[in-house]
């Protein structure tokens, strides 16, 4: 209606304007603005469109001559892969049997549903790297989120290396970089969509983890996923503004805590802390001052960020994405986006702000390939979450927000992702479309305790309100499948639903560093001390032979690899890893009297790839219910080896990979009974009629001749291990767990 009104007004005014003799020369800047703007648009449009249309036959001919018809031998002209991080085959089966997943049931019955063997170790950066490359961790080099810097023993991101521009010019108080910061994806091997691109098969890749920084490739677009940092460069630092204090200090912990101090009228002035300002010689953080004025009725507040229009924050609701422009230097603005959530106004003011995401419309770092792809998506669908770990699990873990706040956030991110995915499918009638949804993973991490009435994390927390959160998310995804169905229901489209791993309970924390200390493998400089600082601070490297960092790994302090390594290569090393593996494998939880380790993999025996030397020397395969402790993950030694996990992060998958397979569903039947994540790239290549490169470790799982496969229909629910699964997650609560399944790369 408004468009019609606008056009009618345009017509009337245009008539009047044209009727005025000589006026056209005088109509001035008002019309000039319109004329210049629209003329520019028209010129650019026609220039680009004509260039593309006129050269299209030439480009087509060139492609046919150089590559030929890329789909000549294809078994599918389009492959659509819906990635659901962490979707668990046990829970999916349970919900299907409960009648809550009609679309998944239909897909399973008409096609196939099987567990999907995950990677070793079974965590997202490793698994999705395997998905992207078709090789195991020893060939793509990603073993965990974090690894240790062998030169410092300090932590470093496994996936990304960012180095500031080397050449700079000093002007006054500013440091002007002469070039861009160098960002490098540390993942080795190559993405299979690059191979498709070289054969002129187009790909749209959205939010596949460990794709930051994006690696350019031909014929396709990619939006980076997990491990995209926030604007501060971290993996997600929320901000919490509160009037609540403990002796003047912030009461809450985690993230960026700011104490608010209202004036006599109740108005508040504070500032949003942004990224480090590397353009200032004196350094420091960029900030955005703001005012917060609670409304008289106590149901909202007005947030006025300096230089921007004030916005009303309703109590208990998220805002839309708010632009946060940080001025680094004159004419240099670093742009981020965040959402605000007004938690409370009385008796205390509590305001939560999400981590500052890179603004997709003005990205401070490349988050897509080509760079304009993120801009295109933002313009098409509105601003969206760009942070790798977009759902703010830390805020809930630190209890600065409630389950509802976290759930609402996760759902809004899910909606953004759904729009992207559906749009990509509608736009591409040929080629590969892959989108990974993280919601399933994050909700299961944070709400798993609701499935286990006796979970240690339930103490002092709600156990009723959100007890069906996981079920609701699964239903939501089933709804997505329903929307996708008619878009992929054609014989030329191969459709797959996959997850990188499943889920199990996380009740008990095991500090492997403390165990190594107790068993004489790790020593602290202070012999009287039982505890160390984070990231192995206080460890005596002259005597320490092994240490743990990350979520599954144990490193040997190897001579020639670690800076202060003491374990000689050869027999000493082999004997040590074997000894630790055997002892650790017999570790018993004193609380239950049962073993908590299913298997310890010795990397040098387990892996064969070229980067096995960089691997943690041992990978601990926990039984369900156990995981490296929070302190162990950050290289800390604590007094006790075992402790209860009382955090909201109550489900996990960093256990023995055989316990937590992912899901595989497809509208096509299979030639293999046991599909593996590592098989997916090889299978996609074959579906498009391309050869599988020799370095890939997977195989084609669909029938090569296009005939009906032998593996089809629903999986056998009794085949799922469900080790340690919470009572609420069990398909057959009365059933004991079965034997472990084979994991990817395992010989």
Partner 1 sequence: MQLFNSISTTVFDVLLAPFGHGVALFDLILWPALLGVMAILVYKAVSNQAALTRVKSQISMRLLEIRLFSHDIVQVLKSTGSILWKNTIYLGNHMIPMAVMIVPFMAVMAQLVANYAYAPSPTGAVELLHVKLDPESGVSSQDVQLAIPDGVALEVPAVKTADGQVFWRLRADEPGDHVLSVFVGDEIYEKHWAVGGDDRKIPTRRLRGIESFLYPSEPTLPAGGPVLSMEMDVHSRSLPFLPDGELGVVLWTLILSLGAGFAVKGVFGVTI
Binding site for partner 1 (CB under 8 A): 2-3, 6-7, 9-10, 13-14, 16-17, 20-23, 25-34, 36-38, 41-42, 44-46, 48-49, 52-53, 56, 59, 202, 219, 221, 370, 372-373, 375-376, 379-380, 427
User: Considering beta carbons, is residue 7 or 459 the nearer one to partner 1?
Assistant: 7
Closer residue to partner 1 in complex, CB, 430/578: 430
Indicate the helix (H) or strand (E) that contains 322: strand 322-329
- Report how far apart, in Å, the C-alpha atoms of 719 and of each of 64, 486, 715, 722, 736 are: 48, 31, 8, 9, 11
Tell the smallest beta-carbon distance from residue 26 to partner 1 (Å). Answer: 4
Q: Which residues have CB under 8 Å from 42's CB, separation 6+?
A: none
Smallest gap from residue 28 Cβ to partner 1 (A): 4
For 130-144, b where at least 16 C-beta lie within 10 A, e where not — what string?
Answer: bbbbbbbbbbbbbbb
Q: How far is the CB of 25 from partner 1 (least distance, A)?
A: 5
Nearer CB in complex with partner 1: 41/529: 41
Quote the tokens at residue 525: 């400089």
Cβ-based nearer residue to partner 1, 34 or 253: 34
How many Cα atoms sit within 13 Å of 27 on the Cβ side?
17
Residue 20 vs 61, nearer CB to partner 1: 20
Phi first, then psi, for residue 447 (nearest 5°) are -120, 10
Smallest separation (angstroms) from partner 1 to the CB of 66? 14
CB of 272 to partner 1, least distance (A): 20
CB 427 within 8 A of CB 433: no
For the CB of residue 13, give the shortest distance to partner 1 in the complex, in Å.
4
Q: Give whichever of 219 and 472 is closer to partner 1, judged by the CB atom.
A: 219
CA atoms of 505 and 521, how far apart (whole Å)? 29
Nearest Cα to 603, choosing from 188, 157, 120? Answer: 120
Spatial separation of the C-alpha atoms in residues 438 and 418, rounded to whole Å? 11
- For 150, residues 6+ apart whose C-beta sits below 8 A from its C-beta are 561, 562, 563
* Structure tokens belonging to residue 539: 């460890």
For partner 1, which is the closer residue by CB, 9 or 707? Answer: 9
The answer for residues whose C-beta is within 8 angstroms of residue 245's C-beta and 6 or more apart is: 251, 259
Q: How far is the CB of 221 from partner 1 (least distance, A)?
A: 6
Cβ–Cβ < 8 Å for 123, 633: no
Q: Alpha carbon 402 to chain centroid distance?
A: 21
Cα–Cα distance, 126 to 507 (Å, whole number): 23
Helix (H) or strand (E) run with residue 620 in it:
strand 618-622
Residue with tokens 């040590």: 576
372 versus 707: smaller Cβ distance to partner 1 = 372
Q: How far is the CB of 275 from partner 1 (least distance, A)?
A: 23
Contact of 363 with 375, CB cutoff 8 Å: yes
Can the peptide bond before residue 313 be classed as cis, meaning omega within 30 degrees of 0?
A: no
The answer to whether 655 and 740 have CB atoms below 8 angstroms apart is no
726/721 Cα distance (integer angstroms): 12
Least distance (Å) from partner 1 to the CB of residue 730? 46
Give whichever of 19 and 169 is closer to partner 1, judged by the CB atom.
Answer: 19
Q: Which is nearer to partner 1, 47 or 171 (CB)?
A: 47
Torsion of CA 302, 308, 309, 313, to 10 degrees: -30
CB of 429 to partner 1, least distance (A): 8
The nearest distance, CB 327 to partner 1, in angstroms, is 14
Smallest distance, partner 1 to C-beta of residue 223, A: 12
Distance CA 290, CA 26 (A): 45
Give the containing element (helix H, strand E) for 479: helix 469-488
Closer to partner 1 by Cβ: residue 49 or 253: 49
Q: Which is nearer to partner 1, 258 or 428 (CB)?
A: 428
Distance (Å, rounded) from C-alpha 340 to C-alpha 358?
16
Dihedrals phi, psi of 87, to nearest 5 degrees: -60, 130
Strands (E), 557-596: 588-589, 594-595
Provide, rounded to whole angstroms, the least separation between the CB of residue 69 and partner 1. Answer: 14
- Which residue, 27 or 181, is less far from partner 1 as judged by CB? 27
């Amino acid at each position: 209606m408004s468009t019609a009104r606008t056009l009618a007004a345009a017509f009337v005014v245009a008539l009047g304007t044209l009727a005025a003799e000589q006026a056209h020369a005088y109509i001035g800047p008002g019309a000039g603005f319109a004329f210049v703007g629209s003329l520019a648009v028209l010129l650019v449009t026609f220039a680009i469109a004509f260039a593309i249309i006129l050269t299209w036959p030439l480009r087509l001919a060139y492609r046919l001559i150089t590559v030929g018809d890329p789909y000549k031998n294809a078994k599918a002209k389009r492959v659509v892969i819906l990635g659901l991080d962490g979707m668990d085959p046990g829970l999916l089966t349970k919900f299907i049997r409960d009648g809550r997943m009609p679309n998944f049931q239909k897909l399973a019955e008409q096609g196939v549903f099987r567990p999907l063997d995950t990677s070793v170790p079974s965590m997202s950066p490793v698994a999705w790297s395997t998905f992207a490359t078709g090789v195991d961790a020893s060939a793509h080099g990603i073993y965990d989120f974090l690894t240790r810097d062998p030169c410092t023993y300090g932590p470093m991101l496994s996936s990304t290396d960012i180095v500031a521009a080397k050449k700079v010019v000093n002007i006054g108080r500013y440091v002007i970089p002469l070039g861009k910061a160098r960002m490098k994806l540390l993942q080795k091997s190559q993405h299979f969509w690059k191979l498709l691109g070289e054969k002129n098969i187009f790909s749209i890749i959205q939010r596949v983890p460990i794709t930051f920084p994006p690696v350019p490739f031909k014929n396709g677009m990619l939006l980076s996923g997990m491990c995209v940092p926030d604007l501060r460069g971290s993996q997600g630092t929320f901000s919490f503004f509160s009037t609540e204090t403990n002796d003047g200090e912030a009461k809450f912990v985690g993230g960026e805590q700011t104490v608010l101090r209202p004036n006599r009228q109740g108005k508040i002035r504070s500032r949003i802390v942004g990224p480090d300002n590397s353009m200032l010689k004196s350094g420091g953080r960029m900030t955005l001052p703001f005012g917060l004025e609670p409304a008289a009725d106590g149901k909202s507040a007005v947030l006025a960020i300096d230089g921007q229009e004030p916005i009303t924050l309703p109590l208990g609701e998220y805002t839309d994405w708010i632009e946060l422009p940080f001025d680094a230097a004159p004419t240099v603005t670093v742009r981020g986006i965040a959402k605000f959530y007004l938690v409370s106004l009385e008796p205390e003011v509590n305001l939560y702000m999400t981590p500052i995401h890179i603004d997709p419309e003005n990205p401070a770092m490349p988050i897509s390939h080509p760079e304009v792809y993120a801009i295109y998506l933002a313009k098409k669908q509105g601003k969206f979450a760009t942070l790798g770990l977009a759902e703010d699990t830390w805020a809930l873990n630190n209890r600065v927000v409630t389950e509802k706040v976290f759930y609402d956030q996760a759902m809004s991110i899910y909606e953004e992702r759904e729009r992207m995915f559906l749009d990509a499918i509608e736009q591409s009638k040929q080629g590969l479309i892959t989108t990974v949804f993280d919601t399933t993973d994050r909700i299961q991490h944070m709400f798993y305790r609701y499935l286990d009435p006796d979970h240690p994390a339930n103490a002092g927390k709600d156990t009723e309100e959100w007890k069906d959160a996981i079920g609701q998310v699964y239903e939501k995804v089933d709804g997505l499948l329903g929307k996708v169905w008619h878009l992929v229901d054609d014989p030329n489209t191969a459709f797959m639903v996959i997850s990188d791993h499943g889920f199990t309970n996380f009740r008990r924390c095991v500090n492997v560093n403390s165990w190594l200390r107790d068993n004489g493998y790790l020593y602290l400089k202070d012999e009287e001390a039982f505890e160390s600082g984070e990231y192995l601070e206080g460890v005596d490297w002259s005597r320490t032979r092994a240490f743990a960092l990350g979520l599954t790994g144990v490193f040997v302090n190897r001579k020639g690899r670690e800076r202060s390594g003491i374990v000689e290569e050869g027999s000493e090393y082999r004997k040590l890893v074997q000894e630790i593996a055997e002892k650790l494998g017999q570790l018993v939880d004193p609380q239950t009297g049962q073993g908590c380790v299913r298997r310890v993999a010795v990397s040098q025996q387990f892996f064969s790839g070229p980067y096995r030397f960089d691997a943690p020397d041992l990978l601990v395969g926990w039984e369900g219910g156990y995981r490296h402790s929070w302190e162990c993950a950050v290289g800390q030694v604590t007094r006790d080896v075992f402790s209860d996990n009382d955090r909201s992060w109550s489900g996990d998958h960093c256990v023995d990979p055989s316990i937590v397979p992912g899901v595989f569903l497809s509208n096509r039947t299979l030639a293999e009974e046991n599909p593996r994540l590592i098989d997916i790239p090889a299978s996609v290549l074959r579906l498009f009629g391309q050869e599988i490169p020799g370095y890939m470790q997977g195989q084609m799982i669909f029938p090569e001749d296009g005939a009906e496969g032998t593996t089809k229909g629903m999986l056998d629910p009794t085949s799922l291990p469900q080790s340690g699964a919470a009572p609420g997650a069990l398909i057959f609560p009365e059933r004991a767990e079965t034997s472990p399944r084979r994991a990817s790369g395992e010989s």
